[in-house]
Amino acid sequence: MAVIMGFLALLIQPVLAENMEKGNVITLFLAGDVMTGRGIDQVLPHPGNPRLYEPYMKSALGYVELAEKLNGRIEKPVDCAYVWGDALGILDHIRPDLRIINLETAVTSSDDHWISKGIHYRMHPDNIACLVEAGIDFCSLANNHVLDWGYTGLAETLATLAGTGIKTAGAGENLQRAGAPAILDVAGKRRVIVFSYGLGSSGIPRDWGARDNRGGVNRLDDLSDSSLREIGARVKAIKKRGDVVVVSIHWGGNWGYEIPKDHIRFARKLIDDAGVDLVHGHSSHHPKALEIYGGKLILYGSGDFLNDYEGISGYEEFRSDIVLMYFADIETSGGRLARLKLVPMKINRFRLNQATKEEALWIKDTLDRTSEKFNIRFRLNDDNTITPFPYR
């Protein structure tokens, strides 16, 4: 506890001082995929039906067993704050204006699994306090798991999140609702507007796309100029002076550090041509490169933030258990990045723990290597946080 409190003291003092001086800065907490279903759901206070339809695992309890075999027993049931672990103290002390994630699970008790999919994630609605405990403000839903349990599961997911006051974008009861952005008010600091899109390259089935008379995902067919113009028109129609616009986009495969050229082009044009201030990319199970382009932040792959993958073999070289909290200070006058701080964490027994110095150094070196093409380097600070330079 003393180590954690010392870490927090080093972390928050400069952040709080700067934020008090900068009334025109909005601080965002961003995370990649948050998967609180399947095995994690089974250790929470209200586990749902554990039955799975996977080729090699027929019960979600099997993922609990894998994690316990690797890292030790999980005393079940855990409370709803458990999974966030040390991250809660960091969030409470930094006090970002908004907390934004990609929710990589349905929140439902539906048993209507999508037959043509091999993997299905769900968290029981009675465990929604898990998200409330972390103060989540926004969940991106344009991903390849929100319809895992059918349209009944989607409707229950939307209703459960709405019942908590957590805002969403990227899925809805029809095309208009699925495509609508979330408008997040920040007291005294204007608005953050979040659009959410998903691509087939992330595994979103084509028939999940929302229609005028059918619910589904805000699925982007391609990364063409036509798609850019459509997004730009939507941004222009809603963005006012002082607003910060975020595009949260689920794209690409789960593994590997390569950034497709069309992702780079599209992200940059979102900034240049569509009026977007921050690109929040996700789908990869590990953090990928980031770029500061025209003074604005592009996260090409935020990586997983919570999952139940402990003990699953394969892809060990990517160390998907080492995850990142992204804290971005964004100027409301122009949407430029004023400051970026990354906090490395380690998933162990379905809980987020402060990373060791060795683990933080590994992810820092990985970011250095993968982001080199974007002319950006990173510094591991004495408080175990990571910052890009020349940015502070």
Domains of the chain (ranges; CATH) run 2-389 (3.60.21.10)
Between CA 8 and CA 3 the distance in angstroms is: 9
Q: Is the pLDDT of residue 338 over 90?
A: yes
The pLDDT tens digits for 154-208 are 999 999 999 999 999 999 999 999 999 999 999 888 999 999 999 999 999 999 9
Q: Name the helix (H) or strand (E) containing 109.
A: none
The pLDDT tens digits for 114-146 are 999 999 999 999 999 999 999 999 999 999 999
pLDDT at position 240 is: 95
State mean pLDDT over 261-272.
98
pLDDT at position 13 is: 41
- The fraction of the chain above a pLDDT of 70, given in percent, is 93
Contacts of 88 (CB under 8 A, 6+ apart): 81, 133, 134
With bands split at pLDDT 50, 70 and 90, how would you rate the model's confidence at 391?
low
pLDDT at position 253 is: 96
State the sign of the Cα–Cα–Cα–Cα dihedral 237, 240, 241, 246.
Answer: negative
Between CA 117 and CA 204 the distance in angstroms is: 10
Between CA 258 and CA 379 the distance in angstroms is: 22
Q: Is the pLDDT of residue 109 over 70?
A: yes
Between CA 24 and CA 330 the distance in angstroms is: 8
Q: Is the pLDDT of residue 390 over 80?
A: no
Between CA 222 and CA 263 the distance in angstroms is: 10
The pLDDT tens digits for 65-79 are 999 999 999 999 999
State the sign of the Cα–Cα–Cα–Cα dihedral 136, 185, 183, 340.
Answer: negative
pLDDT at position 189 is: 80
Mean pLDDT of the chain: 94
Q: What DSSP assignment string belongs to 287-303?
A: ---EEEETTEEEES---
Between CA 192 and CA 169 the distance in angstroms is: 13
pLDDT at position 19 is: 40
State mean pLDDT over 329-343.
97
Residue 262 tokens, joined:
């069309």
The pLDDT tens digits for 4-56 are 444 444 444 444 344 434 568 999 999 999 999 999 999 999 999 999 999 99
The pLDDT tens digits for 349-385 are 999 999 999 999 999 999 999 999 999 999 999 999 9
State mean pLDDT over 324-342.
97
Q: Is the pLDDT of residue 278 over 90?
A: yes
